[in-house]
Amino acid sequence: MTHIKKISKSKNNLSRALEVSLKSRKITTPFFMPDATRASVRGITNSRLDETGIRAMVVNTYHLFLQPKMDLIKKAGGVHKFMNWKKPLLSDSGGYQVYSLIHKNPKLGKITEDGAVFRSVIDGSKHLLTPELAIEVQFDLGVDMMVVLDDPRPNNIEKKIMDESVERTVRWAKRCKIEFEKQIEKRNILEEKRPLLFGVVQGGLHTDLREKCANGLKEIGFDGYGFGGRHLDEDDVFLEQIIKDTANYIPDDALKFALGIGTPQDIARCFAAGWDMFDCVIPTREGRHSRIFKWKDKGVIFENDSKDFYETVNISNSRFKEAFSPIDENCDCYACANHTNTYIHHLFRAKEPLGAQLVTIHNLRFYMELMEELGKSV
Ligand SMILES: [Zn+2]
């Protein structure tokens, strides 16, 4: 069976809408996944998350592997049951956190051809994360979409080292695919109930390396392909050409996953370049810091490469002290339906955690509305 079906394609740019059959349910692109890092979007219950229109979330393999550990999640019947979330979940490979840990403090581990050896920051225990283990753990989590272990490097390293990272990424992707097929067979998973597997295209700022990586991965064959590495340059300028080229190197019948992206503006630009799915900490992290996303003009999302379609405001600012209106009168989220700027401003000033919850809910609803607007454009 095919898990990915094209519904429509834009006449104005490279964006499209796909129907994706996952084990939990069908979903359509574009979609944005908030990060439920430790099987929770901080401070928000599932029913409030559900009300925002979220279609899928990301859980973090590295964090769950260390706490509460896989034995417990297996006993719970998988991560869906553990957290009682019925919609689709994607897990990452765990690699990104391990590499960040090792790059920050080389004493905490090392990377070899076999995998990454690292020490738990929780209890000091030693682990070896191999491509095979990354896949097995994600099967134990029981997610709908999983990602291969790759070898991410900072964009600014020399080209020769980036080339080595690309070659290792492809070799590890091959090992992941072999393990993926083994696990499907071992666990007797039917084709329609199997998770989707994503490769990750590395190559930093080098178009030729991005192409080389994509070609290597295509040969192995994946349901989807992610954009690896940072999507901004050292001055935080959006890497427009690299984003466009990488999308072009990925087969059109596969999902294009803009990993870790991003601001509403960056998402709109990636979508126009052909990327289908997104995940990022921005709406929730900003929400916890009292920053609110608000629409200015939905009509100019794709115009002039500008940010004019939205703004961010800080509700802790004194101008909201006596603003007895909702954050956004046109928003149908729980926060806007029930509370005023004044009240939420007070919650942040008084350090009451409900403030962060309400703004996070509003921001997630804003991101879902953005997905609806993008979806309407194709
Ligand atoms: Zn709202």
What tens digit of pLDDT does each residue of 6-47 get? 999 999 999 999 999 999 899 999 999 999 999 999 999 999
pLDDT tens string 44-84? 999 999 999 999 999 999 999 999 999 999 999 999 999 99
Contact 187, 207 (CB under 8 A): no
pLDDT band at residue 306 under the 50/70/90 scheme = low
Counting residues of the chain whose pLDDT is more than 90, the rounded percentage is 90
Distance 42 CA to ligand 1 centre (A): 18
307 has pLDDT over 80: no
The rounded distance, in Å, linking the Cα atoms of 148 and 115 is 12
152 vs 303: which has the higher pLDDT: 152
Listed residues: CB within 5 A of ion ligand 1: 331, 333, 336, 362
Distance 125 CA to ligand 1 centre (A): 43
Q: Which residues of 177-216 are buried (b: 16+ CB within 10 A; e: fewer)?
A: bebbeebbeeeeeeeeebbbbbbbbbbbbbbebbbbbbeb
Q: What stretches of 187-281 show up as alpha helix (H) in DSSP?
A: 207-220, 240-249, 264-272
The rounded distance, in Å, linking the Cα atoms of 21 and 26 is 4
Distance 360 CA to ligand 1 centre (A): 9
Contact 154, 230 (CB under 8 A): yes
The rounded distance, in Å, linking the Cα atoms of 310 and 296 is 5
Strands (E), the chain: 4-9, 16-21, 26-28, 31-34, 57-59, 89-91, 109-111, 116-119, 126-129, 145-147, 196-201, 224-227, 255-258, 277-280, 291-295, 310-314
The rounded distance, in Å, linking the Cα atoms of 370 and 378 is 13
- C-alpha closest to that of 181 among 136, 116, 130: 136
Distance 23 CA to ligand 1 centre (A): 31
Q: Catalytic residue numbers?
A: 92, 279
Contact 26, 3 (CB under 8 A): no
Distance 367 CA to ligand 1 centre (A): 11
Contact 40, 18 (CB under 8 A): no
pLDDT tens string 161-179? 999 999 999 999 999 999 9
Phi, psi of 181, deg, nearest 5: -70, -35
- Cis, bond preceding 152 (omega within 30 deg of 0): no
Where residue 304 falls (left for φ over 0; alpha for ψ -120 to 50; beta otherwise) is: left
Lowest pLDDT segment from 26-40, 127-141, 221-235, 291-305: 291-305
- C-alpha closest to that of 144 among 78, 243, 227, 233: 78
Contact 127, 95 (CB under 8 A): no
SS3 1: coil
pLDDT tens string 104-114? 888 889 999 99
The rounded distance, in Å, linking the Cα atoms of 180 and 221 is 12
363 has pLDDT over 90: yes
Domains of the chain, each with CATH number or no CATH: 4-280 (3.20.20.105), 291-368 (no CATH)
User: What pLDDT is attached to residue 360?
Assistant: 98
Distance 338 CA to ligand 1 centre (A): 9
Distance 350 CA to ligand 1 centre (A): 21
pLDDT tens string 182-206? 999 999 999 999 999 999 999 999 9
304 has pLDDT over 70: no
- C-alpha closest to that of 279 among 260, 256, 264, 266: 260
3 has pLDDT over 90: yes
- Cis, bond preceding 262 (omega within 30 deg of 0): yes
DSSP H or E segment with residue 161:
helix 159-186
